Amino acid sequence: MKKIILEVEGLSRYFRVGGLRAKGFLHAADDVSFTVKQGEIVALVGESGSGKSTIARVLAGIYKASKGEIKFEGNSIAKNSDKAVRGRMPMVFQDPFSSINPVFRINHGLERSLKLHRKGLTKLARKALAIELVEKVGLTPGAEVLRRYPHELSGGQRQRLGFAQALASQPSLILADEPVSMLDVSIRIGLLNVMKDLRDHEGVSILYITHDLASARYTADRMIVLYAGQIVEEGLSEDVVASPKHPYTRLLMSTAPDPRLPYVEIDESGDLGEPPRVIDPEPGCRFAPRCSLVMDKCRTSSPVMVQVSPTNRAACFALEKD
């Protein structure tokens, strides 16, 4: 059994919304629980607005949790903003052009991170390690790449650099928030393979956040499906794709062009519609208004995650056997 390195229990994040009169709390993430094991890629899959980035930001310490527990490497970190702890769970962002200082050569940022996170290295050792890190993510020859300026790299190369930068702090878990969605389709797969390599050769775990089922299936060992701030289904990626159980996952699958391909061009104008913005919710299933299996009960009480098949867990009354 592999060690659990991240344990999220009942995590919620609310945002106050509205003006003076119509005040309320938007439940961006609501009672979310999951685990990530060592050396495992877990995909957090959901449409735009389903709460993926909110969860990642709470994990990274950018947002505070409104409720819930986060245990990372065995320690409770919900209220901990310790840089050393957070460094072991760095984030790679969606926009490869946002996170790198354009003024300096690439070695500058990377060596700065190494100075911060790997104390006691000589300057020479830092330089050697920087080369090693960029080569690990496929940027070769490392010494030559490090001498370049950020604008001399393509989007895909910059996103690789984002992963090299994340490796500088010797992470046990990388939070990758839509790391390929701004890249050309043709180069996405290279980045997905970088994540697999890091898992297989560095033993790093990755929370891979995406709205693309196909890339989640290709990359991740396990898949967690999010709808309107809540987890609706979870299982091994193969099982969720081959045999989705929750009516929402089924709908997602039916609108994905072919989730068996490593990546697909997502038609964001599709007829799926956005998940609702949930403000001060009453009890009840959030998917009920769109659900083909809806029952009376679904409108008044909230389903919880239960085992619905030997392989999948889901939150759906219609799937519960009584």
Residues forming the site for Mg ion (CB under 5 A): 52-53
55 vs 106 by CB, closer to Mg ion: 55
Distances (CA, A) of 321 to 207, 284, 286, 308, 312: 31, 19, 21, 8, 14
Alpha helices (runs of H) in 137-255, residue ranges in sequence order: 142-146, 155-167, 185-202, 213-219, 237-242, 247-255
Options 7, 15, 272, 291; binder of ligand ADP; rule CB under 6 A: 15
Sole residue written with tokens 């490796």: 167
49 binds, options Mg ion, ligand ADP, none, Cβ within 5 to 8 A by partner type: ligand ADP
Nearer to Mg ion, 126 or 211 (CB): 211
In the list ligand ADP, Mg ion, none, the entry touching 54 (Cβ below 5 to 8 angstroms by class) is ligand ADP
Segment lying near ligand ADP (by CB under 6 A), choices 44-52, 231-239, 245-253, 306-314:
44-52
**Nearest-angstrom CA–CA distance, 210 and 52:** 8
Residue 48 engages ligand ADP in binding (rule: CB under 6 A): yes
Rounded to whole angstroms, the Cα distance separating 209 from 30 reads 17
Q: 213 and 253 in contact (C-beta within 8 Å)?
A: yes
State yes or no: residue 142 binds ligand ADP (CB under 6 A): no
Select the binding partner of residue 15 from ligand ADP, Mg ion, none (C-beta < 5 to 8 A, by kind): ligand ADP
CA gap 228, 222 in Å, rounded: 20
Nearer to Mg ion, 131 or 176 (CB): 176
Q: Which does 210 bind (CB under 5 to 8 A by kind): Mg ion, ligand ADP, none?
A: none
Q: Provide the residue type at 12 as one letter.
A: S
Closer to ligand ADP by Cβ: residue 200 or 280: 280
Q: CA distances (Å), 53 to each of 48, 240, 260, in order?
A: 9, 22, 25
Dihedral pair phi/psi, residue 267, rounded to 5°? -90, 100
Q: Which is nearer to ligand ADP, 50 or 165 (CB)?
A: 50
**Near ligand ADP in 54-93, by CB under 6 A:** 54
Nearest to 52 by CA among 81, 36, 28: 28
Shortest distance, position 5 Cβ to ligand ADP, whole Å: 22
Tokens (6 digits) for 155: 């989007």
Candidate list 34, 43, 52, 227; residue touching ligand ADP; CB under 6 A = 52
Query: Among ligand ADP, Mg ion, none, what binds residue 259 when CB lies within 5 to 8 Å by partner kind?
Result: none
Tokens, residue 1:
């059994």
Token code pair at residue 260: 């068996």
Q: How far is the CB of 48 from Mg ion (least distance, A)?
A: 7
Distance CA 285, CA 292 (A): 13
Q: Which residues pair with 227 in a beta bridge?
A: 230
Size of the site for ligand ADP (CB under 6 A): 12
Q: Which of residues 268-307 bind ligand ADP (CB under 6 A)?
A: 277
Among 12, 50, 94, 237, binds ligand ADP (CB under 6 A): 50
Nearer to ligand ADP, 133 or 256 (CB): 256
Q: Say how far apart CA 195 and CA 177 lie, in whole Å.
A: 12
Binding site for ligand ADP (CB under 6 A): 15, 26, 28, 46, 48-54, 277
